[in-house]
C-alpha cells in the first residue's frame, strides 16, 4: 500500500523520467503530457473536482508567465542583443587579452565570466559561452568542459537573476529572502571549492596549483564573500552578478600585474585568439546593458527601501485557484527583475548604436525563439500546482519521511539532483520538487526553507549530469555525440558534491 501510494503520487514525475531519458522526448512535448497525467491522477485518484483542477492549471500558467518567464526572456534578450551589436565579441576580446596563462584565463573566463553569464542569462549560456572562448584559445576540450560543468553547479540557484529561488517562492509560498539566505549557507563550502576543481582539471592535476594557489584563493573569495553577503541580506537577484563582477575586477587587476612572470610551457597560451584592442569607450558601450542591470536591480532592491517600497506596492492579487485552502496569487507589475532587465537592455542597445526598431526585433525574435521554453515552464508549474492542491505531494512526502526518517535531510539534495537530471533546469526542479521538500520538512519539524534550499543546491549539482545541459556544452566546443562519455567522466564529481551537500544539510538541519 505504501509503495502504491508513492507511485501514484509520483505519476507525472515518473512519466517525465521515462519520456525525457528513455523515449528521448523533448521537454516541450513531454511536459504538457505530464499535466494531463497529473490532472487525471488528481481528479480520479485524489478526488480533486474538475473545476479545481482547471483553476490549478490556470494558476500555474499565470504564475509561470509573470514573473518567471518574463525574467528568462529578458535575460536571453539582453544576451541576444549583445551578440547582435557585437558587444559580446568585445567582451570576449577583453577577457582573452588579460593573460597568457591557461590557469588564469580558465578562472577569469570559466569561473568569473561563467558565473556572470549564469547570473544574467543561465540556461546553458554559462557553459556554452566560456567554453567556446576557451576552446578557441587552445584549451583541451574535455577537461575544460568538465571544469565548466562543475563551476556552474553552485551559482545555478541564483541564476537568471534569481529565477530558481523566486520560482521556489511561487511554488511553495515560502519567503524568498529566507530561501536565499539558507541556500547561501548550504552552498558556501562547495561554491568556495569550485574554482579549485577548475584549475585542477584544466591544469592536469595538483601540479597546476604551483604558483597559482594565491590567485585561485583570491578568485574564489572575491566571488564567494560578496555572493554570500548579498544572498543572505538582500535577496537572490544580485549575488551571481555582483559576485562575478567583483571576481572579474580583482582577477583582471592581479592578472595584469602578473603578466611579466614566467609561465611554464605547458600552461602557456600560444595566442590570445585576437590581435584586436578595445578602447575604453568601446568597453563601456559593450558592458553598458549589464552595468545598467546592476544599477537598476541594486537601487530597486531592499537596500533602498524608499525606492523598493513604493514600487513594490504596485501590484494586484487574484483568486485563481478555487479549491480548498485557496490563497490569492500576487503579481508585482513594476518592481520585478524582468521589467528592469528589459529596460536596461533597450537603453544599453541604444548606447551600443542599435536602433529602437532593431532592438524590438531582437526582443520579438527572443520571444518567438523560446516558445518551446515558455510551454515547458508553464506545463511544469501547472503540474506542480496540481500535485500540491490534490495532495499528491503530501503522499510522496509521507512515504519519504517514513522510510528515511530523521536522516531525510541527508538525501534532500539528491531529490534536486534527480530533478535537474530529468529537466536540465534549476527553475523546473524548484517548481517540481519544492513543495515536496517543504512538506517533508513540516512532517519532520524542520524549517521548510532549509530543505527547499537543499533542493536548489541539488538542482545545480544535477546539471553536471543532465543530458540536455551536457549536450549544450558539447555542441559549443565541437564534442557533439560524446555526451555519454562526458557524463561518465563528470559523474564522480557530481556524486562528491551530492554527498557533501547532503552531509551539510543533515548536520545543520
Three state DSSP letters for 225-239: HHHHHHHHHCCCCCH
**∠ CA 114-468-73, rounded to 5°:** 60
Cis before 67? omega within 30: yes
pLDDT 10s digits, 176-228: 999 999 999 999 999 999 999 999 999 999 999 999 999 999 999 999 999 99
Banded pLDDT at 272 (limits 50, 70, 90): low
pLDDT of residue 444: 92
CA 331 to chain centre: 22
Tens of pLDDT along 89-103?
Answer: 888 888 778 888 999
- Phi, psi of 303, rounded to the nearest 5 degrees: -65, -20
Name the least confident of 41-45, 245-249, 275-279, 415-419: 275-279
Q: DSSP states of 174-237 as a string?
A: --HHHHHHHHHHHHHHHHHHHHHHHHHHHTTSGGGGTTTHHHHHHHHHHHHHHHHHHHHHT-SS
The DSSP 8-state label assigned to residue 407 in this structure reads G
Per-residue exposure over 126-155, b if at least 16 CB sit within 10 Å of its own CB, e if not:
bbbbbbbbbbebebebbbbbbbbbbbbbbb
What are the phi and psi torsion angles at 442 (to 5°)? -65, -40
* CA gap 8, 429 in Å, rounded: 19
CB of 77 closer than 8 Å to CB of 125: no
pTM for the model stands at 0.81
pLDDT surpasses 60 at 284: yes
SS3 assignment, position 485: helix
Predicted confidence at residue 144, as pLDDT, reads 95
Return the pLDDT at 136: 77
**pLDDT tens, residue by residue, 59-87:** 999 988 987 788 778 888 988 899 999 99
Residues near 388 by beta carbon (within 8 Å), at least 6 away in sequence: 171, 435
Report the candidate in 267, 255, 256 with the shortest Cα–Cα distance to residue 207. 267
Spatial separation of the C-alpha atoms in residues 33 and 337, rounded to whole Å: 30
Higher-confidence residue of 97 and 50: namely 50
Q: How far apart are CA 79 and CA 482, in angstroms?
A: 27
Residue with the bigger pLDDT between 501 and 89: it is 501
| Whole-number Å distance between alpha carbons of 469 and 177 | 28
**Is pLDDT at 489 greater than 90 in this prediction?**
yes
CA angle 338, 341, 344 (to 5 degrees): 150
Cell of 152: 556552474
| Maximum Cα–Cα distance across the chain | 72
Q: Which stretch of DSSP H or E encloses residue 240? A: helix 239-257
Tell me what the mean pLDDT of segment 382-404 comes to.
89
Among 62, 84, 64, 60, smallest CA distance to 72 is for 64
Q: pLDDT band for position 126 (50/70/90)?
A: confident
Please, are residues 473 and 158 in contact by the beta-carbon 8 Å criterion? no
pLDDT (average), residues 457-471: 88
Q: Is the pLDDT of residue 148 over 70?
A: yes
Cα 181 to Cα 189: distance, rounded to the nearest angstrom: 14
The pLDDT score that the predictor gives to residue 275 is 55
Amino acid at each position: 500500500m505504501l509503495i502504491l501510494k508513492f507511485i501514484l503520487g509520483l505519476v507525472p514525475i515518473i512519466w517525465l523520467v521515462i519520456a525525457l531519458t528513455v523515449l528521448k522526448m523533448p521537454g516541450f512535448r513531454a511536459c504538457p503530457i505530464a499535466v494531463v497525467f497529473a490532472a487525471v491522477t488528481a481528479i480520479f485518484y485524489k478526488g480533486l473536482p474538475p473545476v479545481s483542477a482547471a483553476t490549478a492549471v490556470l494558476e500555474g500558467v499565470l504564475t509561470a508567465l509573470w514573473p518567471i518567464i518574463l525574467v528568462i526572456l529578458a535575460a536571453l534578450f539582453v544576451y541576444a542583443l549583445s551578440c547582435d551589436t557585437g558587444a559580446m565579441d568585445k567582451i570576449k576580446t577583453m577577457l582573452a587579452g588579460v593573460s597568457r596563462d591557461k590557469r588564469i584565463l580558465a578562472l577569469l573566463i570559466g569561473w568569473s565570466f561563467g558565473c556572470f553569464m549564469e547570473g544574467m542569462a543561465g540556461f546553458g549560456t554559462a557553459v556554452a559561452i566560456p567554453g567556446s572562448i576557451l576552446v578557441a584559445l587552445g584549451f583541451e576540450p574535455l577537461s575544460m568542459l568538465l571544469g565548466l560543468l562543475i563551476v556552474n553547479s553552485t551559482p545555478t540557484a541564483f541564476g537568471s537573476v534569481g529565477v530558481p529561488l523566486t520560482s521556489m517562492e511561487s511554488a511553495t509560498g515560502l519567503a524568498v529572502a529566507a530561501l536565499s539566505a539558507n541556500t547561501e549557507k548550504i552552498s558556501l563550502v562547495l561554491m568556495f571549492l569550485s574554482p579549485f576543481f577548475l584549475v585542477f582539471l584544466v591544469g592536469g592535476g595538483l601540479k597546476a596549483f604551483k604558483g597559482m594557489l594565491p590567485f585561485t584563493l583570491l578568485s574564489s573569495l572575491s566571488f564567494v564573500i560578496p555572493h554570500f553577503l548579498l544572498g543572505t541580506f538582500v535577496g537572490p537577484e544580485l549575488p551571481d552578478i555582483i559576485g562575478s563582477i567583483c571576481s572579474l575586477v580583482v582577477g583582471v587587476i592581479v592578472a595584469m600585474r602578473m603578466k611579466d612572470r614566467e609561465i611554464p610551457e605547458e600552461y602557456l597560451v600560444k595566442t590570445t585568439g585576437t590581435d584586436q584592442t578595445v578602447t575604453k569607450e568601446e568597453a563601456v558601450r559593450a558592458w553598458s546593458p549589464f552595468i545598467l542591470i546592476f544599477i537598476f536591480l541594486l537601487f530597486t532592491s531592499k537596500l533602498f527601501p524608499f525606492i523598493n517600497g513604493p514600487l513594490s506596492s504596485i501590484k494586484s492579487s487574484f483568486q485563481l485557484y478555487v479549491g480548498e485552502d485557496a490563497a490569492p496569487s500576487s503579481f508585482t507589475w513594476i518592481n520585478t527583475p524582468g521589467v528592469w532587465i528589459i529596460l536596461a537592455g533597450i537603453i544599453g542597445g541604444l548606447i551600443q548604436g542599435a536602433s529602437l526598431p532593431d532592438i524590438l526585433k531582437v526582443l520579438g525574435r527572443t520571444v518567438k525563439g523560446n516558445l518551446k521554453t515558455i510551454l515547458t515552464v508553464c506545463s511544469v508549474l501547472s503540474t506542480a500546482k496540481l500535485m500540491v492542491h490534490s495532495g499528491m505531494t503530501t503522499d510522496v512526502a509521507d512515504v519519504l519521511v517514513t522510510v528515511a526518517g530523521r536522516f531525510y535531510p541527508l538525501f534532500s539534495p539528491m531529490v534536486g539532483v534527480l530533478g535537474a537530471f530529468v529537466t536540465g533546469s534549476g527553475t523546473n526542479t524548484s517548481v517540481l520538487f519544492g513543495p515536496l521538500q517543504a512538506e517533508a520538512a513540516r512532517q519532520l519539524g524542520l524549517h521548510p526553507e532549509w530543505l527547499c534550499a537543499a533542493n536548489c543546491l541539488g538542482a545545480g549539482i544535477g546539471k553536471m549530469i543532465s543530458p540536455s545541459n551536457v549536450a549544450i556544452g558539447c555542441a559549443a566546443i565541437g564534442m557533439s555525440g560524446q555526451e555519454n562519455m562526458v557524463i561518465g567522466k563528470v559523474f564522480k564529481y557530481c556524486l562528491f558534491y551530492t554527498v557533501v551537500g547532503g552531509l551539510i544539510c543533515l548536520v545543520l538541519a
